[in-house]
Structure 1
Amino acid sequence: MTHVDTVETGQDGDRRQGTGPGPRHSGIRRAVLLLARPEPWRRGPVLTASALLLGLLMLLHGSVPNGIGHLGSLVETFLPWFGLFVPVLLAGALLRRSAAAVAALLLPVTVWLSLFGGLLGDRSHSGSGLLTLVSHNVGADNPDPAATARALAASGADVLALEEITPEAAGTYERELAGTYRFHAVLGTVGVWSSRPLSDTRPVDIEMDYGPLAATKPFDPASTRALRTTVDTVRGPLVVYVAHLASVRVTPRDGFGTAQRDRGVQAIGRAVAAERDERVVLLGDLNGTLDDRAFGGLTARLTSAQDAAGDGFGLTWPAGFPLARIDQILVRGVRPESSWVLPATGSDHLPVAAEISW
């Protein structure tokens, strides 16, 4: 009888010596064999279709029609949040062991990263800024405007823009900010405070009146929600626009009601386009995210300080759990060095800040 030495043939010996395939390689082999079967690719057709539709929606968001209830603008307002569906679908795909659904998720992941991946890191620059700008919708229902004013004065802003100033609170803001800012101007519900002189301050008509008689109604400066002024900096003039565009509402009749806001965006866009000064900044509550197609004409002329030099998305509203950045600092002819969101005050919005240079 012939004896076979298993050490020489390598049959049992490899396992004893540890030279055979280990657990990691065995796991990879099992995964490859599993994927080679047709069953995992047939499972979860609904999950697969959902993943592809999610990716196509984000990729082709500009094609979502706006004719019915401004659906396209609504989708674009909350577009970054569509990425949250990816882990939900992934969990479902893993539970169903659906290789097709997992593969289909590569589309929404790739699209989301191409749209928003650049916003995940810190984009601030190392250069020292010349001016710090702060904008805040202080809130008509703010229970403590004096505390809000003191917090904003302590922010280090050289130029401070406030929106939604009520007649009752206007005096409080003027008193509390007087010790920090020598110069200020308030028109209607918006105002600007500055450590440098202001000149040529005037209201801007953002066409808040809306309806068949809007074109025949004279502009009332007392009810203005936007202004233009010039800040005399140590390096020359800086044109500053402060605006509080119309709020949007979701109603059964109108859907995502943006008509008045869109008129305001167009009006501000025309004013900026006609501006002869090289250096221009727009501060304010624009009641919309810059992903919304309605802002395309404005963002073609101005750069978002948050997109250029911020850290993350910089969401501002609602203050308790921010879902969207509707408070903006947009610039032209100056360089954003950094952009950030300030701590909450008594308002339902968070203040935004940016440091600029030129």
Structure 2
Amino acid sequence: MAQQAYMTQTDNGGSDPEHRTSRLQRLIDALTRGWRDDRRIWRRGLVLAAFAVVLAVVMLAHAQIPNRIGNLGSLVETFLPWLGVFIPVLLLLALLRRSATALIATLLPAVVWLNLFGGLLTDKTTTGGELTVATHNVNAENPDPAGTAREVAASGADVLALEELKASAVPVYRDALRSTYRHHAVVGTVGLWSKYPLSDVEAVDIRLGWKRAMRATVSAPGGQVAVYVAHLPSVRVKLEAGFTARQRDKSADALGEAIAGEPLRNIVLLGDLNGTMNDRSLNAVTSQMRSTQGAVGSGFGFSWPAAFPMARIDQIMVKGAEPTSSWTLPQTPSDHLPIAARVKLTTEDS
């Protein structure tokens, strides 16, 4: 009788592993039967497959997209990581269409995207570093400059750069940061606050006609550091003109020239460059410096717009120094997120 009861339990799908396996196999067979019996799976979805191939080519050869028409190349490069959003959409459509061709073609952009950006999905933070730096475009129309100053100072940064400083708000930032930073300098609409002495403060000509970039020497415990603070001109996307960035590009070239002539070994660039590291128009800067966001930390580190960050246009870059960690800071009343990094200074013996 007990044996009969046991057999009844297993026959009803109880805990028999072989029975569960057979049920799973029947489910898989039911889901795939339509694919196996449908000989059109290779002929359907050709348009989806073509779109997947084009998407892969755009990501793989983005540097070849010309800038002659509306700076189209720079526009694509600014939002290049977001092209990956199309990959799951293509995958879903391929499944709905029961197209084996489209499914296989979708692997192409997936592989290209992972090759370009997969490294940002892993945490590359390392230990060490003796200098913490931060930068924040505080927004000229910031309704709470004092609160913003206190929030970014709470990051523990040894050196803090602020951009888009309104002249009337400078005293507010100065007062709010005085207890944390003994040294500061403001040039035009950019400023630098430091726990360590500043010297050789000067404006950097980025060919604008007004001052939006500066340089200073920070005498940090690990040695002297040339710190550049820059706020490059804004870019616009217009239907009739495309991605208008000519003034930004000229300023980037001028900033790159200034950094190339810097005599100090350790160089840190902080600021709002109004462009991402993928944008070829910033090559004068990016070709000679390393972005802390790409070298260490994890994630894309998008900083703008703060409400829904879509691009990393605020940058911390180094030359000579080695980044060890990078992160974004909590949102302030500004339309940009503040970002921070920790760097290790190099010496003559390094």
TM-score, scaled to structure 1: 0.87
User: Is 1:317 the counterpart of 2:304 in the alignment?
Assistant: yes
Match of 2:141 in 1: 141
User: Which shifted more, 101-110 or 302-311?
Assistant: 302-311
Give how far 1:24 is off.
Answer: 4.9
Looking at structure 2, the residues matched to 225 and 134 of structure 1 have their Cα atoms a distance apart, in angstroms, of 17
Looking at structure 2, the residues matched to 321 and 143 of structure 1 have their Cα atoms a distance apart, in angstroms, of 20
The C-alpha deviation readout for 1:264-292, integer Å capped at 9, x for no partner, is 11111111111121100000000011111
Structure 2: runs of 5+ lacking an equivalent: 1-16, 346-350
The C-alpha deviation readout for 1:184-236, integer Å capped at 9, x for no partner, is 00000000000000000000011125xxxxxxxxxxxxx30000000001122
User: Is 1:304 the counterpart of 2:305 in the alignment?
Assistant: no
Give how far 1:26 is off.
Answer: 5.8
Give how far 1:28 is off.
Answer: 6.5
Give how far 1:294 is off.
Answer: 1.1
Looking at structure 2, the residues matched to 290 and 339 of structure 1 have their Cα atoms a distance apart, in angstroms, of 15
Match of 2:164 in 1: 164
Go from structure 1 to structure 2 and tell me whether the alpha carbon gap of 1:36 and 1:63 turns closer, same or farther (over 3 Å shift): farther
SS of match in other structure, 2:201: strand
User: Which shifted more, 49-58 or 32-41?
Assistant: 32-41
Give the structure with higher Rg (CA). 1
Give how far 1:306 is off.
Answer: 0.9
Match of 2:198 in 1: 198
- Which ranges of 4 or more aligned residues in structure 1 deviate by more than 6 Å? 27-30
| 1:41-52 matched pairs, under 5 angstroms | 41-52=42-53
User: Is 1:95 the counterpart of 2:93 in the alignment?
Assistant: no
Match of 1:335 in 2: 322
Looking at structure 2, the residues matched to 263 and 36 of structure 1 have their Cα atoms a distance apart, in angstroms, of 61
Match of 2:341 in 1: 354
Looking at structure 1, the residues matched to 324 and 33 of structure 2 have their Cα atoms a distance apart, in angstroms, of 49
Looking at structure 2, the residues matched to 18 and 233 of structure 1 have their Cα atoms a distance apart, in angstroms, of 69
Name which of 285, 293, 300 aligns with 2:280: 293
User: Is 1:255 the counterpart of 2:242 in the alignment?
Assistant: yes
Counterpart residue type for residue 59 of structure 1: L
Match of 2:207 in 1: 207
SS of match in other structure, 1:22: helix
| 1:23-34 matched pairs, under 5 angstroms | 23-24=23-24, 31=32, 34=35
Match of 2:87 in 1: 86
Go from structure 1 to structure 2 and tell me whether the alpha carbon gap of 1:286 and 1:35 turns closer, same or farther (over 3 Å shift): farther
Looking at structure 2, the residues matched to 243 and 237 of structure 1 have their Cα atoms a distance apart, in angstroms, of 19
Give how far 1:22 is off.
Answer: 3.5
Match of 1:71 in 2: 72
Looking at structure 1, the residues matched to 343 and 232 of structure 2 have their Cα atoms a distance apart, in angstroms, of 24
Structure 1: runs of 5+ lacking an equivalent: 1-16, 210-222
TM-score, scaled to structure 2: 0.89
Tell me, yes or no, if the aligned pair for 1:35 and 1:99 is still in contact at 8 Å: no
Tell me, yes or no, if the aligned pair for 2:303 and 2:314 is still in contact at 8 Å: yes
Tell me, yes or no, if the aligned pair for 2:35 and 2:98 is still in contact at 8 Å: no
Match of 2:9 in 1: none
Give how far 1:128 is off.
Answer: 2.4
SS of match in other structure, 2:66: coil
Identity %: 54
Looking at structure 1, the residues matched to 89 and 34 of structure 2 have their Cα atoms a distance apart, in angstroms, of 26
